[in-house]
Structure 1
């Protein structure tokens, strides 16, 4: 009923079939994802004015990025402290999941500590 296609597809690439295509490993992808979550956590942590915690997070981000230090947050969103702690708690939770997935003990411990700290801070702001 149908005649088979006898010509090459117009959708094929111009590159040779044996040309190496750059691929990232699962570990590299998890490193990128973890560094992203920690960078977002760093921005919120800096906005809260927690410099010691921010420095610890920055060290982990730099380690994951091959020694490149992260850009530190310079602007303020104007959000209240409770909202910032809630956001930081969620970001630390995401970082903890990725750190556990890639078996990164240092990042997992840091993320768990930040989750605890932000949960306690949320409880304090809710009580006041």
Structure 2
């Protein structure tokens, strides 16, 4: 009824035969994921710094860049010159979401420094979103 399998499976290897492709440990995969989330958060932070300069955002950007470099074995994050356009609220929402993702990965990786940084950034962006907005008075 069924035709026998004629080709070797791509999913298994022979016992004792080294694999032809590199494998990463779970820890390495989580490092890559965490570095990616923090690098994305750094990019959004740079965008916010261009729109609403503040010492808090400057410090956060420095700390994020240091964490990305640590996770990438000393390689610094690429940083583009941000365009000073866009809505700060949307950027704060995006940054909050990215910080949340970074927090989840940092927690599963048991990386206390990255988890604390991500939680602080989540709090800062949540606070920025909660600030009362000025109402325009049209006469």
Query: Normalised by the shorter chain, which TM-score bucket?
Result: 0.7 to 0.9
Aligned-pair RMSD on alpha carbons?
A: 2.1
Distance 1:22 1:122, change over 3 A: same
* Matched residue count: 122
Contact 2:46–2:82 at 8 Å: present in 1 too? no
The one-character-per-residue Cα deviations of 1:6-59 (angstroms, maximum 9, x if unpaired) are: x842x667xx95233310011111000000000000000011112211010000
1:42 is aligned to 2:48: no
Per-residue CA shift, 1:43-82, capped at 9, x if unaligned?
0001111221101000000000001010113132722111
The answer for the alignment partner of 2:81 in structure 1 is 74
Equivalents in 1 of 2:80, 2:6: separation in Å?
52
Contact 1:85 1:118 (C-alpha < 8 Å) held by counterparts:
yes
Does residue 19 of the first structure (1) align with residue 18 of the second (2)? yes
Q: Classify the secondary structure of the residue corresponding to 1:127.
A: coil
8 Å CA contact 1:47–1:73 kept in 2: the answer is no
Instruction: Check the 8 A contact 1:42/1:73 in 2, yes or no.
Output: no
Relative to structure 1, is the Cα distance of residues 3 and 73 closer, same or farther in structure 2, using a 3 angstrom cutoff?
closer
Q: Which moved more, 1:113-122 or 1:75-84?
A: 75-84
What stretches of structure 2 of length at least 5 have no aligned partner? 50-56, 135-139
Uncovered stretches (5+) of structure 1, i.e. residues with no partner: none
Equivalence for 2:112: 105
User: Corresponding residue for 2:67?
Assistant: 60
Matched with 2:133 is 127
